[in-house]
Structure 1
Amino acid sequence: MKIATFNVNGINGRLPNVLAWLEEAQPDVACLQELKAPDERFPEAALEKAGYGAIWHGQKSWNGVAILARGCKPVETHRGLPGDPEDTHSRYIEAAVSGVLVGCLYLPNGNPVGGPKFAYKLGWMERFMARAKSLVKLDCPIVLAGDYNIIPTDRDVYKPERWQDDALFQPEPRAQYRKLLKQGWTDALRHLHPDETIFTFWDYWRNSFARNAGIRIDHLLLNKVAAKRLVSAGVDRDTRGREKASDHAPVWVELGD
């Protein structure tokens, strides 16, 4: 079973690229982030024609998450995170697909550091960690996939000194990420490729992609049941190099029977 995550940076504006990737990569489950579309403008018909059922949690102009399943419709189990009644952002959705529980998240960026957006980032992560803790020991494979907007270690960034003032690289969210892993989650990509330089995001400016000046912020975390089935994991880097591409590349894992 192949499960992927892809921050599409606008589902409608980049739909041809998304459809091309789905046809080539053939993921069984695809978690999409940053839809930038309200619910009524989600391209359900085009995705269904491509062979994918979908559930989604949209938002006009910003945010938005979706889970696609090849040949079936995901069974939604959770939407949003409790703990902040004033939070109206569409950032989390969860579903069961063929015996696997999949959570799709788009964690806040948090910039600028020290302001209300950074406080929101840390608070959202705490609420997500509470949800993750309630899931991690369930007796079924669970994958929490998405754009975490956290650079876990210095190995996950081109020239760490250039990110010292960025919210993605601050000590607080990095500590939260380590705490999340200690619940019993496996960072699949880093687990299988512990020493490799791997990036999942390249900014549009300064020719970042051509220079491979990237960062790793898109992660798939597996509970112990799923981790035992982990066969392979990778990044579809070529997708980032296409015309009108998202600034993220798809990341995937493959689980055996």
Structure 2
Amino acid sequence: MDIASWNVNSIRSRQQHILDWLGTNTVDVLCLQETKVVDEDFPRQPFEAAGYHCHISGQKSYNGVAIFSREPLQDVKIGFAPLLGSEVTGDLDEQKRVISGVYMGVRIVNLYVPNGSAPDSEKYSYKLRWLKTLKTYLHNLSKSDTPEFLVCGDFNIAPEDRDIHDPKGRENHIMATPVERQALKDVLAIADLQDAFRKFTEETGHYSWWDYRTRGFSRNRGWRIDHHYLTPKLYAQAQRCWIDQEPRGWEKPSDHAPVVVTIKD
């Protein structure tokens, strides 16, 4: 089973890119982030014609997540509230950042973690609150009827210095502050989730996001912030995890590249 994650930075702007990529990468499941479109305007038809079922949760101009799957997902859940209740979730589901469903007996959780803007900002505090709620969400999920799950998406956190082209000063840089990294560790520890990419690749120099503004891609000045995290059984079954940099070099690309994991059925 091949599962891909890709922050496309607008589904309508990158529609043809996604179709072209799916034409040569016939993954079973594609998780998208930053679709940036309300559900009624989501361009379902081209992807359905390509053989995918579209499960979506979007909003206008910002955020938005979707899962495309070869077979329909079972038990689709949107947001934190279906598992935690609105009393716990509060306002966090107003931004469309969480969607999950069961595929071939595995729950796939697709996330778009808040960026946080800048340390000490209100958006940074929101990010930390969101991650704390995610921790509770995954704890509950680990106790559910589908204990094996994969969590993927744009985490907006580089877990280690080797995930950044130049980690100098990173302790004051959004996406790499000690507090964010610890919050991510706490999230993963709650269900003993493991980083699929690092099972196969130890060295630095592998990134999934490159800033538009600094010619980041041409200079490979990137960050690895898009991840697949697996429960122990799935981690043992993982056969490959790789970043496909090719679409980042296409005309008018997303600033992110797809990340793909292969799990033995």
Q: Same fold (TM over 0.5)?
A: yes
**Which residue of the other structure, out of 116, 119, 133, is the alignment partner of 1:127?**
133
Partner Cα separation in structure 2 for residue 147 and residue 86 of structure 1: 20
Contact 1:54 1:74 in 2 (8 A): no
Distance 1:137-1:223 versus aligned 2 partners, 3 A rule: farther
Q: 2:49 & 2:75 partners in 1: Cα distance?
A: 21
Mapped pair 1:186 → 2:191: no
Q: Find the aligned partners of 1:23 and 1:99 in 2 and give their Cα distance.
A: 26
Tell whether 2:47 aligns with 1:47.
yes
What is residue 203 of structure 2 aligned with on the other side? 195
Give the unaligned 5+ runs of structure 2.
82-87
Q: Assess, with a 3 A threshold, how the Cα gap between structure 1 residues 2 and 121 changes in structure 2: closer, same or farther.
A: same
Indicate if the aligned counterparts of 2:107 and 2:150 stay in contact, CA closer than 8 A. Answer: yes
Instruction: State whether residues 55 and 68 of structure 1, in contact with CA within 8 Å, keep that contact through their aligned partners in structure 2.
Output: yes
Question: Contact 2:208/2:245 (CA < 8 Å) preserved in 1?
Answer: yes
* Cα displacement (A) at 1:73: 2.0
Specify the alignment match of 1:37 in structure 2: 37
Residue matched to 1:224: 232
How many residues align? The count is 256
What is the deviation of 1:93?
Answer: 0.4
**Cα distance in 1, alignment partners of residues 26 and 48 from structure 2:** 14
Deviation at 1:196, TM superposition (A): 4.1
- Does structure 2 conserve the Cα–Cα contact (< 8 Å) formed by 1:79 and 1:94? yes
How far residue 121 of structure 1 moved from its aligned partner, in angstroms, is: 0.1
Q: Which residue of 2 aligns with 1:152?
A: 159
1:73 corresponds in structure 2 to: 72
Partner of 1:85 in structure 2? 90
Q: Which one of 96, 119, 122 corresponds to residue 116 of structure 1?
A: 122
Asked whether 1:215 is paired with 2:223, we answer yes
Shift of the alpha carbon at 1:205? 1.6
Q: Does the CA-based 8 Å contact 1:203-1:247 persist in structure 2?
A: yes
Task: Please report how far the alpha carbon of residue 16 of structure 1 lies from its aligned counterpart in structure 2 after TM superposition.
Answer: 0.3
Name the SS of the counterpart of 2:89 in structure 1.
coil
When residues 115 and 196 of structure 1 are mapped into structure 2, their CA distance, relative to the original with a 3 A threshold, is: closer
2:177 to 166, 170, 173: 170
* Letter paired with 2:186: K
Partner residue in 2 for 1:57: 57
Corresponding residue for 2:260?
252
**What are the superposed Cα offsets for residues 126-148 of structure 1, whole Å, 9 maximum, x if unpaired?**
11111112223666531101000
Listed as ranges, the matches of 1:133-144 within 5 Å are 133-136=139-142, 140-144=147-151
Distance 2:199 2:129 in 1: 27
CA contact (8 A) 2:132 2:187 kept: no
Equivalent residue in structure 2 for 1:205, among 188, 200, 213: 213
Distance of aligned partners of 1:155 and 1:137 in 2 relative to their CA distance in 1, 3 Å threshold = farther
In structure 1, the residue matched to 2:84 is none
Local SS of the residue matching 2:159:
coil
Match of residue 245, structure 2, among 229, 237, 240: 237
Coordinate RMSD, CA, aligned: 1.4
Contact 2:118 2:124 in 1 (8 A): yes
Q: Decide which moves more: 159-168 or 174-183.
A: 159-168
Deviations for 1:204-231, whole angstroms, at most 9, x for unmatched residues? 1221101100000000000012112111
Residue identity matched to 1:85: G
Distance 1:194 1:180, change over 3 A: farther
